[in-house]
Structure 1
Amino acid sequence: MRYILICIVLLIKGFYLFSQENSKIIFSSPLGIPLNVTGNFAELRNNHFHAGIDFSTKAQEGYRVYSIADGTITRIKVSPYGYGKAIYIDHPNGYTSVYAHLISFGDSLDRIIKDIQYKNREFSIDSVFSPGFTVKKGQVIGLSGNTGTSYGPHLHFEIRETETEFPVNPQLFEFGIQDTIKPVPHKIFFYPLESNSTVNGKNERISFSLEKKDRKFIIKKDRKNPVDEIIVSGKTGIGITVSDFYTDKSNSSGIYRIRMLLDSVFVYGFTMKQFSFDDTRYLNSHIDYAENVKSGTRIHKLFREPGNRLNIYDNKMTNGVLDFDQAGNHKLDILIEDINGNFSVVNVDLTAKTPVGQIIERSCEKVIPSGSKEIFEKDGIRVVFFPESLYDTLRLEYTLSSGAKFLSPVYKIHNRYTAIHKAIEVSIHLDKKHHDLYDKLVVVRYNNEKSPVSIGGSVKSHTITAKSLNFGYFSVMADTIAPVIKPLNIFEGAKFVKDNKIEIKITDNLSGIRSFTGTIDGKWVLFEYLPAKEKIIYNFDANLLKTGNKHELLLQVFDERLNRAEYKVSFYY
């Protein structure tokens, strides 16, 4: 009976909305092969929600990519990071389509882009065109690739609202993507949110595995979990892990909608219809961030912190926190849906008891409330928290230590299991005896098991200041070592032919690569940067370089502290 009532709720609140959300706009496919989804909209990624759909290109580059409708190419972007080579098409219906990680844009556009790169003497460009280049529905606009921050050939595809640039779930439109598989919940988590809150007598997070029984998911009872009931007391949060699969696909995808009911009353929910790029980092508040750092597991928290301003939540009047302040029995239901209307239901029976004892706050160095500018200053370090730096009140952890390889004390500012939204500002007072190194200094952050990572910084009045998006250990180091240039396929007297390319590896020990410049016979040439492979590539262009001659390559590489490396070599082409 309980399952039937839940289904009625779904029919009233879910399927009706689903039918309304499906746009009557029909776009054509961006690929000429069957659409195989390898990553869907709003999947939980590191520090962001996935803004589109990833389509498989069968582990190959070079598939033709088509415009999904008539429109105008208004923007082309080339970057060694992010979307790599990407094209943006505005359509008359108020939407913009985006095609990313391309290997090329087609001959005519490639020539235009190369001209811009040579004019700017820069590989990375972000060009906006007005009035733009007109394209027709089904017209080839480029070839699929693996450029930018991509870990295998595929097409990253987006639909955005042109006016707001908000990414919209592409499956709200008709692309013929089939899916008949229901989402699968794996574990449910209970979070005691105050010192007098408990779950089965413990003031710590407790998880329970789920199993399917009949048509619903319930708490799985086994040797690891022999409990007969779940007893809750005080303010409690709920979390859940879920996987979902498309028909005949092996990789898990993100969830479209989750709703939570307590005693048949809706208390919390979210729908992944669209979001703002400005808000995407709020993912770190939406999930259990600490668990993600520890194990890589991404838990949907079904309660919201004060500093979480995401617009995906169905009822912003409630924060999802369940307050069990009186004894009684309760029924908790969680409804999980994918965008094709497949759904699963989790049923959990709870026994509530009145909280015992007063709320006791644990000791800390300083209480940092969210939503306001706060400053922590001690022992030569100054940390500025901005109004949007924290999702909730922080009970700051702090220690001071020393390290032989550092030029300042080592400051532990809280721990890496707490997320930062807007970067904090870290300032460290410098010892004047290091004055001669001031232009080489960087702030470094590290954790016990990792090497120091530079976060940059600028020096003023014997203080170095940098921004950080993570807590951890902070100190100061000097970078006086030049980058390393390692030729991979070029050497003195090497011979190249038309379709060859020059490949060179460039690395840096601390502050990171800032820039590089390559010239052949004194003229600037375009090297493509592949930071994931620590490599730069020059593709020979017969229009720019005379064949049958001896040429001289000069490569200069600078790191962020302007240490310079240089490589000269003569070759034949």
Structure 2
Amino acid sequence: MNYLLKIAVLFGLLSASGAQAQDKSFAPPFDFPLTFSGNFGEIRANHFHGGLDFKTGGVSGKPVRALADGYVSRIRVTHGSGYVLHVTYKNGYTTINRHLSAFVGEMARRVEDLQYEKENWEVDITPAPKEYPVHTGQVIALSGNTGYSFGPHLHLDLIEDETGESVDPLPFFKKNVRDHTAPRAQGIMLFPQRGEGVVNGSQKPQSFPLKPKKPVTAWGLIGIGIRAYDHMEGANNRYGVHTVVLEVDSQEVFRSVVDRFSDDENRYINSWTYGQYMKSFIDPGNRLRMLHASNGKRGLVKIDEERPYRFTYTLSDALGNTSKISFTVLGKRMEVKPVQHREKYILHWDKVNILQEPGLHLVIPKGMLYENAYLNYAARADSGDIALTYRLNDTNIPLHSYCDMSIGLRRMPIADTTKYYVAGINRRGKKYYVGGHYEAGQMKVRIRELGTYTVAMDTLPPVLTPVNPKNWGRNGRIVLKAKDKETGIRTYRGVIDGHYALFGKPNSINGNLVCELKHARIAKGKTHRLEMTVTDACGNRTTEFYDFTW
């Protein structure tokens, strides 16, 4: 009996193992060879790339197929991701298909009906699980270039249902992908720790080629970073690196494995990366789980002997292709100067920080900084300005989430307080819209980086420009360009012959407002009148009228 029980248990384990292995495989979303323009975890501004970007031959309209049996769990239209379809599968994963050009069948009709009902291009539908079942290989949508997209492709996120975390989809398509090319390194960067280390006589981060012509010298506590990319056969693109391992004198000190992350981990990329360099050490306020230090120093290296230190990187992609790169840092005793900075402008990563200056109040809760910040603070008063210009730091320091800031107004040229906004100022001195609202002589706003800010005023309405209006009737497609110089377009609404007309921004890069004319909603063979109204973030409004024949 015990023997039979053991056999049964073993068979159950093998079956579970087989099922798990089977779960790690999907049918491809296309019926042509798979190539990618982007992979999971690539370094992007303030976030990791959350999925795979499948190439579609530079065109829209390719049939997108279900990866397994499951059901459509959500249908959305957004300015950021365009047409979006969520599909939940029986193996515990949900895919999010973004930048589509169209939904198919009843889903397409349902979306359009809701858009007209809500009088809004952006809609969100959560169907019941049995409403739209799908089967492996079934066409569920058409690929496209909608939303914030620079070219036709399919962006596919893979979400683990149990945790809600994004996971790397590539291993699920391993049998459909041809790749024998290993990642390649392009450069090294050394990070002497402030007041604790020095590299070539300096305490500033320094980059080096893979084979420096002169010896690299260091003393004290330093961090290492690498700039590297993965590559694939059949594509000229470069991709993020899945696994990075750093060894010093044959002992592992750091490992990063880009295989999953949660939404609240996304902005930790600002701590892990320095431009396109991936740090091989962990800032004290960085809680990114994909980073692992094994030397008790957060991956930092102590150079305290006058001898060569041998560093070796091992780079691997998600399919197991691997390369190595080695270099030497020469330990050389040098003076390490202590940090000298006014305490008032040192922000501590493990404390609540409050910056209080005349006309400025900023609260940074604990957990918003990844390391101590040494502010190069300054305030500037220009004649006639609405408020002082506050340089919190000379280079922007990212915060993990929004923090409350208020700026006092020195003067109010107009009484309408809705026309004031907090503006950021970039390195070129150009202002950009941040937001905020007026309250008791102050502009209150939430910021996610320590940069340069002031208060500005927007009283100029947006400008509408028709794009090839003579072709509207011929093509059955109305196109308008809406621009606002200061705060950007917030709302838009089109009316044709007194009835709501569905305008949208199919591609957020060009920002054109587009209406596809349809017989069922607009009579053909007549002259029609379009009334278009656009409003910016400060409430300035423009309404224009256009006549066209269709």
Fold match by TM threshold 0.5: yes
| Counterparts of residues 163-562 of structure 1 (less than 5 Å) | 163-175=162-174, 176-210=176-210, 220-221=211-212, 225-227=213-215, 230-288=216-274, 292=275, 298-315=276-293, 318-353=297-332, 356=335, 359-363=338-342, 366-403=345-382, 406-431=385-410, 433-434=412-413, 436-490=415-469, 496-497=473-474, 499-529=475-505, 530-562=507-539
CA 1:438 to 1:24, structure 2 compared with 1: closer, same or farther past 3 Å? closer
CA 1:22 to 1:399, structure 2 compared with 1: closer, same or farther past 3 Å? farther
2:369 maps to amino acid? L
The ranges of structure 1 where at least 4 consecutive aligned residues each deviate by more than 6 angstroms after the TM superposition are: none
Q: Contact 2:281–2:293 at 8 Å: present in 1 too?
A: no
Q: Contact 1:22–1:173 at 8 Å: present in 2 too?
A: no
Distance 2:382 2:21 in 1: 59
Distance 1:130 1:415 in 2: 52
User: What secondary structure does 1:188 align onto?
Assistant: strand
Of 444-453 and 418-427, the range deviating more from structure 2: 418-427
Distance 2:440 2:393 in 1: 26
CA 1:139 to 1:405, structure 2 compared with 1: closer, same or farther past 3 Å? farther
2:217 maps to amino acid? I
Where structure 2 has 5 or more consecutive residues not aligned to the other structure, the ranges are 1-19
Q: TM-score, normalised by structure 2?
A: 0.91
Distance 1:109 1:363 in 2: 61
Of 425-434 and 544-553, the range deviating more from structure 2: 425-434
Distance 1:233 1:53 in 2: 42
Q: Contact 2:66–2:138 at 8 Å: present in 1 too?
A: yes
Distance 1:140 1:450 in 2: 50
Please report how far the alpha carbon of residue 389 of structure 1 lies from its aligned counterpart in structure 2 after TM superposition.
Answer: 2.4
1:366 maps to amino acid? Y
CA 1:276 to 1:62, structure 2 compared with 1: closer, same or farther past 3 Å? same
Distance 1:259 1:405 in 2: 55
Please report how far the alpha carbon of residue 329 of structure 1 lies from its aligned counterpart in structure 2 after TM superposition.
Answer: 4.3
Give me the CA root mean square deviation: 2.3
Q: TM-score, normalised by structure 1?
A: 0.87
CA 1:372 to 1:523, structure 2 compared with 1: closer, same or farther past 3 Å? farther
Distance 1:126 1:252 in 2: 34
Distance 1:42 1:485 in 2: 39
Q: Contact 2:101–2:146 at 8 Å: present in 1 too?
A: yes
Who is 1:30 aligned against? 29
Please report how far the alpha carbon of residue 48 of structure 1 lies from its aligned counterpart in structure 2 after TM superposition.
Answer: 1.0
Per-residue Cα deviation, 1:442-472 (whole angstroms, up to 9, x for no partner): 0111124142111111111111111222333
Who is 1:68 aligned against? 67
Please report how far the alpha carbon of residue 518 of structure 1 lies from its aligned counterpart in structure 2 after TM superposition.
Answer: 0.8
1:122 to 78, 97, 120: 120
Please report how far the alpha carbon of residue 163 of structure 1 lies from its aligned counterpart in structure 2 after TM superposition.
Answer: 2.7
Please report how far the alpha carbon of residue 322 of structure 1 lies from its aligned counterpart in structure 2 after TM superposition.
Answer: 0.9
Q: Contact 1:57–1:153 at 8 Å: present in 2 too?
A: yes
Distance 1:22 1:276 in 2: 23
Please report how far the alpha carbon of residue 571 of structure 1 lies from its aligned counterpart in structure 2 after TM superposition.
Answer: 2.5
Distance 2:297 2:243 in 1: 17
Instruction: Give the total of aligned pairs.
Output: 529
Per-residue Cα deviation, 1:177-217 (whole angstroms, up to 9, x for no partner): 1111121112111111133512233333233212xxxxxxx
Per-residue Cα deviation, 1:494-517 (whole angstroms, up to 9, x for no partner): 8715x5101111111212211011
Please report how far the alpha carbon of residue 128 of structure 1 lies from its aligned counterpart in structure 2 after TM superposition.
Answer: 1.5
| Counterparts of residues 153-172 of structure 1 (less than 5 Å) | 153-172=152-171
Distance 1:348 1:391 in 2: 28
